[in-house]
Structure 1
Amino acid sequence: MESPIPLPVERAIHKLGSDISLARRRRHISQASLAERMGASLSTVRRMEKGDVRVPIHFFARALHVFGEIQALAHLLDTARDEIGLTLMDERLPKRVRSKPGGTSGAL
């Protein structure tokens, strides 16, 4: 039995679906045309635009690709700017580093 989907997740998927619908309509693209460009069925596009959480993420990614916005997905969790993750890593750094006998300093 799957756990229920958290409300913030549901809301985010619903908003993404609405935004895809708006972007499609602003570009004067029909749902059928978007489905064809995405390699998806018309019903998948309709469900996606309604924010159906059961639509696999790759369909949302394909829609973003059609709109030229795939980089938005690629940068969602940019680990180079993950302040929490970087802070946790920095907290685990050793206070001192001792050189090993006969070893190198580690300098480039």
Structure 2
Amino acid sequence: MLVSLQTLQRLEAGDPTVGIANLAAALFVLGMTQRLESLVAPASDTTGTAEELARLPRSIHAPRDDADLDF
């Protein structure tokens, strides 16, 4: 993996400051790249999904008359 022993120990301990590249390298060495695929899948990102939903407008308004539809 070409990382220091300290980085490997932090990775094993679940330290969130370890870089994603180090995690990807460890999963590759262990033959577990499918875990990385599921980790970065948008469907599994509940926090990101919640943030996106929070950014959506609360309500939308239909145009008042045909004049508003002038493209």
Q: Given the two structures, how large is their TM-score scaled by the length of structure 2?
A: 0.51
Gaps of 5+ in 2: 44-48, 50-71
Distance 1:72 1:56 in 2: 16
1:23-38 equivalences in 2 (<5 Å): 38=1
Query: Aligned residue pairs: how many?
Result: 45
Determine the structure 1 residue equivalent to 2:61: none
CA-to-aligned-CA distance 1:11-54 (integer Å, 9 cap, x gap): xxxxxxxxxxxxxxxxxxxxxxxxxxx11111100111111111
CA deviation after TM superposition for structure 1 residue 78, in Å: 4.3
Determine the structure 2 residue equivalent to 1:74: 37
Distance 1:39 1:58 in 2: 11
CA shift in 2, pair 1:72/1:54, >3 Å: same
Determine the structure 2 residue equivalent to 1:47: 10
Q: Let me know the Cα RMSD of the aligned residues.
A: 2.2
Gaps of 5+ in 1: 1-37, 86-108
In the alignment, residue 62 of structure 1 is paired with which amino acid? A
Distance 2:37 2:21 in 1: 12
Determine the structure 2 residue equivalent to 1:58: 21
In the alignment, residue 43 of structure 1 is paired with which amino acid? Q
1:9-28 equivalences in 2 (<5 Å): none
